[in-house]
Amino acid sequence: MKKVLIGMTLLPVLFACSKGPGQPPSEGDLRSGPAAAAVLEEGEKTALPDGGYFTWKFSEKPKLGVIIINLQAFGPDGKPDTAYGLVGEFGMPSMKYHDSGPKPFILSRKGHYLLPVEFSMAGEWEIVIRVSREGKEIYEGRKLLTI
């Protein structure tokens, strides 16, 4: 009888822990994108396949709370371009329940794309930026950082 009770008690724990490191990500998981996603670097030009590029930066040094990502996109001619579709996601790789899900960037009056990112706890975070043109995704980049 004790063995049955112990087994029934441990069964939910085993199911909860069954997806450990080394397991493939779930559908919709922040980390389920292509393995070859580019690494984002703050303040640097990031080339896009259509000849354009973008730069991005945080509004302030990342810390607990809400920080704004400010992204500027430029077309192949080097002029600001607001025809891109931008979606961002953020979350903690070790805790998928903190993932934001896809969030569209907001286009400001100045032509900057803005995304509020909420860092709710200390630890390692991942930010993903996806760029699309005419409804087709053309770029995905990722940035890991520690808060």
Count of CB atoms situated within 10 Å of the CB of 127: 23
Average pLDDT over residues 120-126: 94
User: 40 with 142: CB under 8 angstroms?
Assistant: yes
Asked whether residue 81 is domain-assigned, the answer is yes
Distance CA 85, CA 134 (A): 8
Among the listed residues 54, 60, 109, 110, the one whose alpha carbon sits nearest the alpha carbon of residue 85: 54
Average pLDDT over residues 110-138: 95
Distance CA 125, CA 142 (A): 10
Number of domains in the chain: 1
- Give the pLDDT of residue 105: 98
Residues 98-109 pLDDT 10s: 789 999 999 999
Boundaries of domain holding 56: 30-146
CATH number at residue 100: 2.60.40.2480
Banded pLDDT at 113 (limits 50, 70, 90)? very high
